[in-house]
Structure 1
Amino acid sequence: MQLFLFLAALLAVAGRVNAAPLSEKDSQLHNKRSFVERDGVNYTVFEHAATGARMEFVTNSGICETTKGVNQYSGYFSVGSNMNMWFWFFEARNNPTTAPLATWFNGGPGCSSMIGLFQENGPCHFVDGSSTPSLNQYSFNNYANMLYIDQPIGVGFSYGTDSVDSTVTAAPYVWKLIQAFFAQFSQYENRDFGIMTESYGGHYGPEFAEYFQQQNTAISQGSVQGEKINLIALGINNGWFDAKLQYKAYVDFSYNNTYSPLISASQYKSYMNSYNSNCAPAVQSCYSSGSNSACENAENVCYQDIEGPLSESGNFDVYDIREPSNDPYPPETYVNYLQSSSVVKAIGAQTTYQECPNAPYNKFESTGDDSRSFISQLSDVVSSGVTTLLWAGDADWICNWFGVQAVAESVNYSGASAFKNKALAPYTVNGASAGTFKSVNNFSFLRVFGAGHEVPYYQPAVALQVFEQIMQRKSIYST
């Protein structure tokens, strides 16, 4: 309470603070809500009593989502001492009062979810190198209310003290943010809830989902105060889940992908020898001991022997082998836009945008987090009944579909044997060939044709169909 009064006093100096009427629920929990104006921009300030989280956000900035009648909110959640986590929320374009709620996380570790918002599945995108965005007809908020989150602290527009050094330590802060979001926007409590993520999301997705479910159990038992998160869907494209399986997939994919071989037969044999002699044993040591030193060593050994030299074995972009390495794709147009002073002011950002800063990444690297497997957590989530999809663009190298399929076939759940033995079948969108897939019960795998790392950028119609299907608690299916 003292923190809020102190902050309110500071805000009063900068602008004006007016007490906003509290709902009955706010009064019971002693939540605090007020308004402030600074530099001509109006902010809502909200303090969540249950978690101590503080929010400050702008309503309807006019940036990105310009569809009439569709509301948006952008700003910060204070999830810890000097820990200001950036969020950008867009209402669904259709039926927002009943539509489900979904979150989007980009990977890294340490990359901003504004990548997904502006390059992949958000309400606006940059077309043909334009300096300003236009509406994206395939935005995920066509179907769901969408919440984009920059985490951990230091990533994107988030700022302050970053104490997160692993996927496991990241999860509680994300849960705390969702709790504060529900307190401010209580109309979204109890909605069907989905987690969508990519790349290092192969770590984030399983761990966040499992942590949310553990917190739900603790809330039911009375040991934790909060709102249950009605998790019904988890979707991860081109994810990094398991080092042992996916370092091997670097070698296999480089030699035998469906576009063009990146290495020769003799090189393949040499890399496989290195993998079996050095990389795989180092990863196994990480898995067995769980120590930071063993896992960090595994990352170093496998990068030096496998990932590093393979990624430099030809002139190709590791995120899309069809593109040359000196012309990464998609273009970074959106970064300049988000660093514009007028945009920063309009959306309520308080720091300079950083897409993938080094500091958060280095913290994860220090604990060997990259080498740790999250197949166990993924298996638990699938076994709990959450509709789960692993999907991958088939032109991506860095988290290629060979490795993602190997991970999918290693998930332990009631349908595991049937899933592993099931052949891939054609996947279509309105009759057009889009990929190959298989599903057993609530678990699916999809290879997407003609897509690099950021699948929704390359194949937006496919991505939206996939998103809608799993958010309807359905295994994916052709149309």
Structure 2
Amino acid sequence: MNTLLLFYILPITIYINCVYTANSDEIQNLPGLPEPVKFRQYSGYLNATKGRHHFYWYFESEQDPQNAPVVLWLNGGPMCSSLLGMFTEHGPYTVDSKGIKLTMNKYSWNKVVNIIYMESPAGAGFSYDENYPEPLNDNNTTAVANYFALESFFDKYPHLKKNAFYITGESYGGVYVPMLANEIFTRKSSINLQGIAIGNGLFDWSAADVLQVPTLSQYDFALGHGLISHGFYQQKISSCCSIDQDNKWKCDFLNPVNKTKCDSVKKEPVSIMNLYNIYSDCHLDMEPVNGSQYDPFYNPNTTNHKLLKQAQNTNQPDYCPHSGHKEYLNRADVRQALHVRNDAPKQWSAYKGEKGYTKVLRNGSQTFVDLIEKYRIGKILVYNGDFDSICDFITDARFVEGLGYRYTEEYRPWTVDGKPDGVEGGFVQHYERGLSYLTVRGAGHAVPTYKPEAALQILKALLGYTKLNPDEILSLPRLDEPIKFRQYSDYLDSTTGRHQFYWYHESELDPENAPVVLWLNGGPILYI
């Protein structure tokens, strides 16, 4: 009888314990909220590798949280807190400059998904290693720790494990995101990983000083935006690069053919207030947008470093926003509400420097190819704000192109609202096997900060909720004369797994108000 009783009680005990663990992380009263929110939120710690605990903040979707996709967000750095992305990019809240009042963000990603902001690796933000006050990390150990932390999350929220899962990030997330995806597939996890998205990513870290010594693409970017003269560009290329048998420039500025000649080219005195957005009128915050440390290819004695130091004591224009997230997260009542442990760092900061982090040097192309070819990942989306000089759009476009996949359609503009005559968001190139690359017009390094509506549209495209480029037919073979109406064609999703082709023609007379007619031929199937 006792054995039989234990058989029935044990599963119930385990279930109650799982529910209790998740609910114990629920945020009951968040300081600074002017009104009750329409979603649940949780924060606390996820167990990573031995002795390591990653802080997380999880927001349920405002729409059907039981079934909505689950998205993980990772900021870069390395060693940058993902709460920076939460407060300044696409989280539910923004915070005033004094760190007192929270305001709802109408373009928050939790409008459509369940989203996790995880601080990684140990030592970033509120995350910690109980054995080492200053933990040592590298690309590989971080990928493994992130994997175990993620499994810990789904142990806390087992009802979400069936949901579609996506990994997103930016900057050094170009290392974190694909390596974590690879770890999930390699370990044959039951996590339902469907795709990844990376904004302004660093994908090739094969050079020891990849963020210190510019690449050819970065020189091309600088020339194209008028940041350097054509004379300087020509002299630098001719002094540092060689031409291969296909008459293509091969430039290794870290180890040039003639280093003495290459280093002799005098740098130009160029001033840029914000390397993360070259057209911003606001000074670069001394705490970097994503934690990247960047030594520009302009003359440091006359420009950026001096200018940025002066910026600390310079009043910003009134329209330059300042987020008080650092002040907010260091409040005692906020730390208590977020369940921050006593073992966590005493002071939260967005970026603590790269001390203790070793970058394992290699090109990330093979990881992408493995995700596509070996593991058949559903979707990979790479996007770039085109005003960023840190991880510029030319570098990333060439990286994606170098993966060797065929185009599935022409390079074309995409619109923020998905309408053919809507606001242009940038340009998109779709490749086979679910690979896409796009630019975001007028955005800097952290795309959602500058273009939040466009960023939300990109997320919806990753999920398959919308299309980045309209279905309009721009050219039709054998059409000998211009037409007086617009036409569109593509597929409409019907029942599960079924897609019905359509061809739609606008009326030549007042298409905005004209009746809409659907035509169906008969058959069924055999007759037309």
What residue in structure 1 maps to residue 236 of structure 2?
271
CA change 1:417–1:24 in 2 (3 A) is same
What residue in structure 2 maps to residue 198 of structure 1?
170
What residue in structure 1 maps to residue 113 of structure 2?
144
Q: 1:425 aligns with which of 412, 416, 434?
A: 412
Deviation of 1:333 after TM superposition, in Å, equals 2.2
Question: Does 1:247 pair with 2:209?
Answer: no
TM-score by length of 2: 0.68
CA change 1:448–1:241 in 2 (3 A) is same
Deviation of 1:385 after TM superposition, in Å, equals 3.3
Deviation of 1:269 after TM superposition, in Å, equals 2.5
Deviation of 1:429 after TM superposition, in Å, equals 1.9
CA change 1:333–1:446 in 2 (3 A) is same
CA change 1:374–1:455 in 2 (3 A) is same
What residue in structure 2 maps to residue 91 of structure 1?
60
CA contact (8 A) 1:57 1:74 kept: yes
CA contact (8 A) 2:75 2:170 kept: yes
Q: Quick one: which amino acid aligns to residue 70 of structure 2?
A: L
CA contact (8 A) 2:228 2:270 kept: yes
CA contact (8 A) 1:94 1:143 kept: yes
Question: Does 1:349 pair with 2:344?
Answer: no
Partners of 1:103 and 1:284 in 2: CA distance: 40
For the residue of structure 2 that corresponds to 1:331, the secondary structure is coil
Q: 1:336 aligns with which of 311, 327, 346?
A: 327
Partners of 2:118 and 2:57 in 1: CA distance: 7
1:304-453 matches, within 5 Å, as: 313-323=270-280, 326-328=283-285, 331-350=322-341, 351=345, 352-358=347-353, 361-364=354-357, 366=358, 368-369=359-360, 371-383=361-373, 384-412=376-404, 416-418=405-407, 423-430=410-417, 431-441=422-432, 442-453=434-445
Partners of 1:71 and 1:211 in 2: CA distance: 29
What residue in structure 1 maps to residue 488 of structure 2?
none
CA contact (8 A) 1:123 1:136 kept: yes
CA change 1:136–1:446 in 2 (3 A) is same
Q: 2:446 aligns with which of 423, 443, 454?
A: 454
What residue in structure 1 maps to residue 70 of structure 2?
101
Deviation of 1:424 after TM superposition, in Å, equals 2.3
What residue in structure 2 maps to residue 236 of structure 1?
198
Q: Which has the higher helix share?
A: 1
What residue in structure 1 maps to residue 153 of structure 2?
181
Q: Quick one: which amino acid aligns to residue 183 of structure 2?
A: Y
Deviations 1:155-182 (A, max 9, x none): 0111223655322221111111111111
CA change 1:455–1:168 in 2 (3 A) is same
Q: Quick one: which amino acid aligns to residue 76 of structure 2?
A: G
CA change 1:427–1:275 in 2 (3 A) is farther
Deviation of 1:22 after TM superposition, in Å, equals 8.8
CA contact (8 A) 1:387 1:474 kept: no
Q: Quick one: which amino acid aligns to residue 271 of structure 1?
A: K
Partners of 1:465 and 1:181 in 2: CA distance: 27
What residue in structure 2 maps to residue 288 of structure 1?
none
Deviation of 1:313 after TM superposition, in Å, equals 3.6
Partners of 1:433 and 1:448 in 2: CA distance: 9
Partners of 1:22 and 1:399 in 2: CA distance: 56
Q: Which moved more, 1:87-96 or 1:313-322?
A: 313-322
Partners of 2:9 and 2:232 in 1: CA distance: 67
What residue in structure 2 maps to residue 3 of structure 1?
none
Partners of 1:110 and 1:93 in 2: CA distance: 30
CA change 1:171–1:275 in 2 (3 A) is farther
Q: Quick one: which amino acid aligns to residue 137 of structure 1?
A: K
Deviation of 1:281 after TM superposition, in Å, equals 7.2
Deviation of 1:475 after TM superposition, in Å, equals 6.5
Deviations 1:12-59 (A, max 9, x none): xxxxxxxxx99728749xx9669xxxxxxxxx658xxxxxxxx97343
CA change 1:214–1:386 in 2 (3 A) is same
CA change 1:127–1:403 in 2 (3 A) is farther
Q: Quick one: which amino acid aligns to residue 265 of structure 1?
A: H
Deviations 1:106-164 (A, max 9, x none): 00011000111000011111468885220011111111100010000110111223655
CA contact (8 A) 2:96 2:323 kept: no
Q: 1:472 aligns with which of 457, 464, 475?
A: 464
Deviations 1:396-447 (A, max 9, x none): 11001111111111124xxx1336xx64201102311111111123111111
For the residue of structure 2 that corresponds to 1:197, the secondary structure is strand
For the residue of structure 2 that corresponds to 1:172, the secondary structure is helix
RMSD over aligned Cα atoms: 3.4
TM-score by length of 1: 0.74
Partners of 2:241 and 2:118 in 1: CA distance: 38
For the residue of structure 2 that corresponds to 1:362, the secondary structure is coil
What residue in structure 1 maps to residue 317 of structure 2?
none
Deviations 1:168-199 (A, max 9, x none): 22111111111111111111012100001000
Partners of 1:332 and 1:92 in 2: CA distance: 24
Partners of 1:464 and 1:144 in 2: CA distance: 11
Deviation of 1:62 after TM superposition, in Å, equals 2.8
Partners of 1:473 and 1:94 in 2: CA distance: 13
For the residue of structure 1 that corresponds to 2:81, the secondary structure is coil
- Which structure 2 residue ranges, 5 or more long, are not aligned? 1-7, 243-249, 286-319, 472-528
What residue in structure 1 maps to residue 483 of structure 2?
none
For the residue of structure 2 that corresponds to 1:154, the secondary structure is coil
Partners of 1:378 and 1:474 in 2: CA distance: 24
Partners of 2:170 and 2:11 in 1: CA distance: 39
CA contact (8 A) 1:56 1:76 kept: no
For the residue of structure 2 that corresponds to 1:94, the secondary structure is coil
Q: Quick one: which amino acid aligns to residue 344 of structure 1?
A: R
- Which structure 1 residue ranges, 5 or more long, are not aligned? 1-20, 35-43, 47-54, 217-226, 286-300
User: How many residues are treated as equivalent by the alignment?
Assistant: 398
Partners of 2:182 and 2:139 in 1: CA distance: 12
What residue in structure 1 maps to residue 492 of structure 2?
none
Partners of 1:321 and 1:22 in 2: CA distance: 63
